[in-house]
Structure 1
């Protein structure tokens, strides 16, 4: 169960999330991160919607590392089952 990068899908402003995917071999795993979690990671002001993709790219390594941890721990939710990251997932 080793996850690798998938692709950026998009920003959903109405749901305040960024949707992306990761891959486990040939299986695509749906993922999402809240925009507030991304802002928390950068410790800066809220990013404008048109800059969310660039923010995701900057934070991609940290986001995907945490997603992989939740996947290993089988912390999947939703339908279809996927990984949802929130600010609390990045607090120690």
Structure 2
């Protein structure tokens, strides 16, 4: 079974991450992507905090594809275990 899209949870300005979820069947998998990773993916200037949800939506397919890859590789972090994406994971 593969991961499927979940929900946008929040932009955490202090931690410089966007929290979202994905689903594996009925199980919700907590995920996060750094704002610097999203800026890297867009190759443009840093967006304002109130624009992070829209930026996540634009990049959602690429972010979720990488999250699914880390999930298959069982690369979990934190408590509870989840997927964390950083800029380096989007570089060739």
- What is the 5 A alignment of 1:1-92? 1-92=1-92
How many residues align structurally? 92
Return the TM-score normalized by structure 2: 0.99
Deviations 1:64-89, CA, capped at 9 Å, x for gaps: 00000000000001000000000000
Deviation at 1:38, TM superposition (A): 0.1
User: Given the two structures, how large is their TM-score scaled by the length of structure 1?
Assistant: 0.99
> In 2, Cα distance between the equivalents of 1:13 and 1:62?
22
Task: Work out the CA distance in 2 between the residues paired with 1:70 and 1:47.
Answer: 26
Which structure 2 segments of 5+ residues have no match?
none
Give unmatched runs, 5+ long, in structure 1: none
